[in-house]
Amino acid sequence: MTILVTGGAGFIGSSLCIKLKEKYPDYKIIAFDNLKRRGSELNLADFKERDIAFVHGDIRNMEDLNAVEGFDVLVEASAEPSVLSGLNSDPSYVINNNLYGSINCFNACLKHKAKLIFLSTSRIYPIETIENAVFTEGPTRFSFSDEQLVKGISSKGISEELDLSGARSFYGTTKLASELFIKEYSSFYDMQSAITRFGVIAGPRQMGKTDQGVVTLWMAKHFWKQSLKYIGYGGLGKQVRDILHVEDLIELIDFQIHNIEKFNGKVFNAGGGLGSSVSLLEMTQICEEISGNKISIGSEKENRPADLRIYITDNSKIENEIGWRPKKTAENIFADIFQWIKTNEQQLTNILK
């Protein structure tokens, strides 16, 4: 089998390429990437060492995709992942990359009669609906209540039943639009596909930034003893996300590659779930325990555009229909990131510090 991973030198893409090659040494794995994100070039040595092919290209350019001779599966992991992208600047880049670029990938799948694994996002759900959900406030976190005015939100989190009406960010809109196009391609061209709405993904190899990769950022700041800031919702650090270890994501994608018929025509949420959810305050506590360092953390009360008080993935549908559930805890994720930074400190200092 030949598997093409777009965004192959990114956090998820590189992790996926390496794990698939380790598990299936006879498969041809191709990492396709434009190397835009700082630090992605560090993965090229790992690819060469493991006999993973690398193609330097951009999904916005169909000629670059056509340069790949053939493949059986395309994993589309090449998105501009920042929720803030396009909100305070020209949205052309996020639209061109995440929508038009993805459509080029779909056309490449048709050309090669390949299966499509599409990494969508929890950000397709509308901001106002989630922000208006009934919640409670505890000592360290906000939590969803089971008493809600709309279907699709409970103490377990957000399910696929939540109504999609409303604004969600340019990033979320490009992903939702891509989902709709996949349904058209699947219906009219019989393209086999799997669509998964992932929440926050974290783990080793992630070059964390303020607007994307907050879990790595939090641990890196503790590792190098630098300051942080709680932003929004009163500056209390009680906002919550569930986090999914990249290895749990890879396990699911591996299953999708080999069992596409179970996913074709369906959409699933997949995240860390309530059991692997943490507030910023709780993240700080975990990082202090693992790193042994206590740092200065400031406070800014004003919310950022498109932010959410709480996002937790309700995994009920995928657990019941597929049998997949995450295995790694939040503590596992932070411990793995700490060890990765410690092992690669010299390489990562100029990128994460």
Q: Mean pLDDT across the stretch 4-33?
A: 97
Is the confidence at residue 89, as pLDDT, over 80? Answer: yes
CA distance 229 to 236: 10
Residue (of 294, 202, 292) closest to 242 by Cα position = 202
- For residue 210, the model assigns a pLDDT of 56
Q: Tokens in use for 269?
A: 């949420």
The vertex-45 CA angle with 121 and 207, nearest 5°, equals 35
| pLDDT tens digits, one per residue of 235-254 | 999 999 999 999 999 999 99
pLDDT at 10 over 60: yes
Identify the pLDDT of residue 80: 84
pLDDT score for 32:
97
- Quote the CA–CA distance of 126 and 255 in Å, as a whole number: 29
Supply the pLDDT for residue 336. 97
* pTM score, whole prediction: 0.95
Checking if the pLDDT of 222 tops 60, the result is yes
Using a pLDDT cut of 70, give the percent of the chain over it: 99
Q: What is the CATH number of the domain that holds 94?
A: 3.40.50.720
In whole angstroms, what is the distance from residue 10 CA to residue 135 CA?
35
The pLDDT assigned to 209 comes to 63
pLDDT of residue 351: 84
Report the mean per-residue pLDDT for the chain: 95
Residues in contact with 123: Cβ distance below 8 Å, sequence separation at least 6, in sequence order: 83, 168, 169, 171, 172, 175
Residues 33, 14: Cα–Cα separation, whole Å:
10
- What band does 157 get if pLDDT is binned at 50, 70 and 90? very high
For 131, the domain range is 2-352
Q: What is the CA radius of gyration of the chain?
A: 20
* The total number of structural domains that make up the chain: 1
Mean pLDDT across 289-317: 96
> Given this model, what pLDDT does residue 345 score?
94
Give which of 220, 234, 218, 336 is closest to 282, Cα–Cα. 218
Single-letter code of the amino acid located at 111: K
Highest average pLDDT, of 35-49, 140-154, 212-226, 339-353, comes from 140-154
| Average pLDDT for 6-11 | 95
Neighbours of 148 (CB within 10 A): 15
3-state helix, strand, coil in the chain (%, to 5): 40, 20, 40
CB 168 within 8 Å of CB 123: yes
